Amino acid sequence: MFNSLSDHLTATFKNLRGKGRLSESDINSTIRDIRLALIDADVATPVVREFTGRVRERALGAEVSAALNPGQQVVKIVNEELIAILGGQTRELAMAKRPPTVIMLAGLQGSGKTTFAGKLARHLRDKGHFPVLVAADLQRPNAVTQLEVVAERAGVPCFAPERGNIGGHDSATTEGTQSYGDPVWVAQAGVGQAKVRQYDVVIVDTAGRLAVDENLMQQAADIRAAIEPDEVLFVIDAMIGQAAIETALAFQKGVDFTGVVLSKLDGDARGGAALSVASVTGRPIMFSSIGEQTKDIEVFHPDRMASRILDMGDVLTLIEQAEKAFDRKQAAEMARKFMDEEDFTFDDFLQQMSAIKKMGNLKSLMGMMPGMSGMKEQLANLDEREFDRVEAMVRSMTPFERTHPKQINGSRRARIAGGSGVSVSEVNQLLERFGQAQKMMRQLRRGGGMPGMPGMPGGGGAKRKQVTKKGKSGNPAKRAQQEQEAAAKATAARDKALGNAFGAPEEEQDLSNIKLPKGFEKFLGSGKD
């Protein structure tokens, strides 16, 4: 979504590197480039003017002129101002003190309300809530059926007492002559059913139109007045550009929403809507929708989105998704095998591949890594179907072959290739790469670094000094002591390697002076599960 804006800003900041002092002309040139980048990204002109004004004022002040690295200080200012126009702080859903919490969705037709309703329901279900969807969109053809399908995929119930428009045409085009039921009554009945059946969250999907009109606003206002929702979320298509401002202001006046949802954030549009809506309306962006599946939803964090735009990555979101995808028992089993010096097998490989798939779209995951702006072409050419081909090859192996890959001879390779629909050369390449992975794991286990990489502080690397082995003493007591010391060193090396590979804390290290990203401290081990 923000590729174009990120490329422009990254190129702008490259011109500031290595300068010990920034002149006023340097700052003016930088501000001009930032302004052009924002306008090119379809950010609203008032937002661009306000943003660049604040950056200029701060950049010409003492915090840049007195800085040891003024270029980095300008980047820091732009990052902080981006966070400000994106809403400043993360805003969570306001849950009712007495259930159920009622959440109403509003927006134009085609903005993604129905799909988001299922995503939000699954998100809340995964957090321990019991949501129910209410089909109050009775105008759009087959909207009720679509919501029922989405609810089934999300694993939540759907309340739909009216079938709505199933005739294949919208009542909005028939000048009100068609009647498909009362959406206000459906919304009220849905909240009532939630109280009776003890659902703690009600998500009401309302009707949209192809453009803002009085009928849409009046119906949405009537539903809001009838059910008195705790949250009214305005779902807006992040790809509509400058029109986002006019639409958002119209809904704010007609419905008075409490939060914004950006849908289709995985598209290739310029992304100006995301940088404009929160600043213009004063309402926070609360969620972003990044795909078609029910799991493709993210809580919107302004600081993390600003980091993505400036190509600083989003490591915290990556860690959170990994925590959800990777099973603790599997991780513990991997750690045990690592300690017991058991080889990494194809069964372990399948488990790891399954966990990565659960994390979501691989391209978006790679995009969260810092400094990936220079690899956009490689990411665009990434074929995720390669994972399916590799999985097919592994599943074509027998249980014996998965645990004894060295025993896979020519005839076995031909059989695996035939069973998975690939060539023998592809099977050979997989086995070769897997052998390299096993070699890397063995080197890590022995306390060494990654093959072909320089050594890390406190650990072994690719280049290590040759250590002359001492001869064993002829004294039995002294020899026993030497063997005991050698065993202790080997155990310590394995423990250290395990800590490096699986993130185990090392008690003897002082980590108090290490600078971590804001919010990262909650991911550090605290000794509690």
Residues annotated within a binding site for GTP: 107-114, 205-209, 263-266
Does residue 156 come out as left (phi exceeding 0), alpha (psi in the -120 to 50 range) or beta? beta
Query: Per the annotation, where are the binding residues?
Result: 107-114, 205-209, 263-266
Quick one: which of 470, 450, 474, 472 has its CA closest to 460? 450
Which single residue is written with the structure tokens 């659902």?
199
Distance CA 223, CA 139 (A): 14
Q: In this structure, are residues 343 and 388 in contact, taking their beta carbons and an 8 Å threshold?
A: no
Distance CA 524, CA 516 (A): 10
Q: In this structure, are residues 298 and 290 in contact, taking their beta carbons and an 8 Å threshold?
A: yes
Which single residue is written with the structure tokens 């978006």?
364
Half-sphere exposure of 28 (CA within 13 A, CB side): 3
Spatial CB neighbours of 399, under 8 Å, sequence gap ≥ 6: none
Q: Is the peptide bond before 229 cis (omega within 30 degrees of 0)?
A: no
Q: Which two tokens stand for residue 382?
A: 């990434």
Is residue 391 within a helix (H) or strand (E), and if so which, with residue range? Answer: helix 385-395
Distance CA 94, CA 101 (A): 8
* Backbone dihedral angles phi then psi of residue 267, each to the nearest 5 degrees: -75, -175
Distance CA 438, CA 498 (A): 15
Helices first, then strands: H and E counts in the chain? 22, 8
- Written in H, E and C, the secondary structure of 334-359 is HHHHHHCCCCCCHHHHHHHHHHHHHH
Which single residue is written with the structure tokens 């840049």?
64
Give, in degrees to the nearest 5, the angle at Cα 249 between 244 and 253.
150
Distance CA 342, CA 354 (A): 21
User: Which residues partner with 235 through β-bridges?
Assistant: 261
* Backbone dihedral angles phi then psi of residue 102, each to the nearest 5 degrees: -105, 125
Q: In this structure, are residues 201 and 129 in contact, taking their beta carbons and an 8 Å threshold?
A: yes
Distance CA 500, CA 444 (A): 8
* Backbone dihedral angles phi then psi of residue 18, each to the nearest 5 degrees: 80, 0
Distance CA 335, CA 61 (A): 52
Query: Quick one: how far is CA 391 from the chain centroid?
Result: 24
